[in-house]
């Protein structure tokens, strides 16, 4: 696909290891620099990765002429600030979810990128893996008939049991919806299309939580945000998705996602993972049958959304050079900024609905991303 896209990472926290593992496999992406407010942490990442990756200050990375795209792995509160600085420096941007702390800030990022002529992408790219994409292909091929409804369920008693510094999960901007919702809502939009309205309800059962591990074990922290959120998403297609996101419930027998159609039901694997088995019960049967892997990036991981952007940029360049219209544009990369903005808008609208006690229109729209053919980006394509 031509010259690799050179990437510089800002933010070298725990999640960076998963991106590094992917970058070692990907042909379309080359890591050249890393930066962090803690210089020692950036130096450790550069040394561990090797291959001539340099650790530099943040401003130096933003100005580096050999950095094509900035991977923004900072905390959510800093996502917009770093993205805007990267865009001002003429860099493409890809960020961890959410795109910004608020939809208003996310819109500023997208508007700045449009004016600068650079691409914006955002996690989660888990939906590009074989799990969600095999389910999508089954839906598109008519395996369940007309999609009618979906359920999406994520319950856990809370992250304070294992996270040594869980405070940010329990303040505004946190909670189960904004923490885990991006995986589920992005999957639902990928499977069923954009959302036009929502109606929700929310609660929290405890005013404080007790940290269960690390040097702060036993410390009590306040809870100032909703820790159980449920609602219905009305898709443009007419399908209805019921969403349950909880830091209050203990466990569930429910599938992560089920999609119900006029001719069958699909059990969809965990949208926080890239693979997993898709199962189908056709109308007239009571038996679940496992579907063969039929779509998606094989053996993928965090960072494959960046490789998808690299391929879209390459396709756009070829089309421009040849004067043709074939291939995707950078804005049509699958883990794109408009999709991330729509997902954030859906989640904010759901919380607004929960607090107002009435249905709320979702004003943004994002095109359902194009399907991913069965392919292995680390080697050659194995299907189409």
Q: Identify the CATH number of the domain in which residue 236 sits.
A: 3.30.360.10
Residues whose CB is less than 8 angstroms from the CB of residue 8 and which lie 6 or more positions away in sequence, other chains included: 31, 32, 33, 34, 35, 61, 62, 64, 67, 69, 70, 71, 91
Residue 167 counted as domain residue: yes
Residue 112 counted as domain residue: yes
Q: Identify the CATH number of the domain in which residue 65 sits.
A: 3.40.50.720
Give the number of domains in the chain.
2
Same domain, 184 and 243: yes
Between helices 39-49 and 16-23, what is the axis angle to 10°? 30
Percent of the chain with pLDDT over 70: 96
Same domain, 14 and 59: yes
- CB burial readout 347-370, b (16+ within 10 A) else e: bbbbbebbeeeeebebebebebbe
pLDDT band at 85 (very low <50, low <70, confident <90, very high): very high
Residue 131 counted as domain residue: yes
Q: Are 335 and 308 in contact (CB under 8 A)?
A: yes
Domain that holds residue 149: 127-290
Of residues 331 and 335, the one with the higher pLDDT is 335
pLDDT band at 325 (very low <50, low <70, confident <90, very high): low
Residue that is last in its domain, among 267, 290, 313: 290
Q: What are phi and psi of 170, to 5 degrees?
A: -120, 20
For 347, the token pair is: 């989640």
pLDDT at 324: 62
Count the helices and strands in the chain (H runs, E runs): 9, 17
For 29, the token pair is: 């992406």
Same domain, 105 and 88: yes
Same domain, 20 and 118: yes
Instruction: List pLDDT tens digits, range 264-284.
Output: 999 999 999 999 999 999 999
Same domain, 141 and 192: yes
Same domain, 119 and 147: no
* Mean per-residue pLDDT of the chain: 94
Instruction: List pLDDT tens digits, range 115-154.
Output: 999 999 999 999 999 999 999 999 999 999 999 999 999 9
Between CA 306 and CA 71 the distance in angstroms is 9
Mean pLDDT of 87-97: 97
Same domain, 53 and 188: no
Residue 379 counted as domain residue: no
């Amino acid at each position: 696909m031509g010259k690799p896209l050179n990437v510089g990472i800002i933010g070298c926290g725990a999640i960076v290891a998963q991106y590094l593992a992917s970058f070692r496999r990907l042909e379309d992406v080359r890591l050249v620099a890393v930066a962090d407010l803690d210089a020692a942490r950036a130096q450790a990442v550069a040394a561990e990765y090797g291959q001539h990756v340099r650790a530099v200050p943040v401003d130096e990375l933003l100005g580096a002429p050999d950095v094509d795209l900035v991977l923004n792995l900072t905390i959510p509160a800093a996502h917009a600030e770093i993205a805007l600085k990267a865009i001002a420096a003429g860099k493409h941007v890809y960020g961890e979810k959410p795109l910004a702390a608020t939809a208003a800030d996310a819109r500023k990022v997208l508007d700045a990128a449009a004016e600068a002529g650079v691409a914006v992408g955002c996690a989660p790219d888990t939906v590009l893996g074989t799990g969600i994409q095999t389910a999508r292909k089954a839906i598109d091929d008519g395996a369940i008939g007309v999609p009618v409804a979906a359920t999406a369920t994520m319950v856990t008693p809370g992250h304070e049991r294992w996270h040594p510094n869980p405070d940010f999960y329990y303040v505004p901007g946190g909670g189960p919806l904004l923490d885990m919702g991006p995986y589920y809502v992005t999957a639902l939009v990928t499977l069923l299309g954009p959302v036009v309205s929502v109606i929700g309800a929310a609660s929290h059962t405890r005013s404080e939580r007790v940290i269960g591990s690390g040097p702060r074990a036993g410390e009590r922290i306040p809870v100032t945000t909703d820790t159980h959120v449920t609602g219905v998403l009305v898709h443009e297609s007419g399908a209805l998705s019921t969403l349950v996101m909880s830091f209050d419930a203990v466990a569930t027998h429910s599938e992560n996602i089920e999609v119900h159609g006029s001719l069958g039901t699909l059990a969809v694997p965990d949208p926080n993972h890239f693979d997993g088995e898709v199962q189908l019960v056709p109308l007239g049967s009571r038996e679940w049958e496992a579907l063969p892997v039929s779509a998606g990036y094989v053996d993928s991981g965090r960072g494959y959304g960046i490789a998808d952007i690299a391929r879209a940029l390459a396709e756009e360049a070829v089309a421009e050079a040849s004067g043709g219209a074939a291939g995707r544009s950078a804005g049509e990369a699958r883990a794109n900024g408009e999709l991330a903005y729509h997902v954030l808008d859906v989640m904010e609208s759901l919380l607004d609905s929960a607090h107002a006690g009435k249905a709320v229109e979702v004003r943004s729209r994002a095109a359902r991303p194009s399907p991913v053919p069965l392919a292995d980006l680390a080697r050659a394509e194995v299907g189409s």
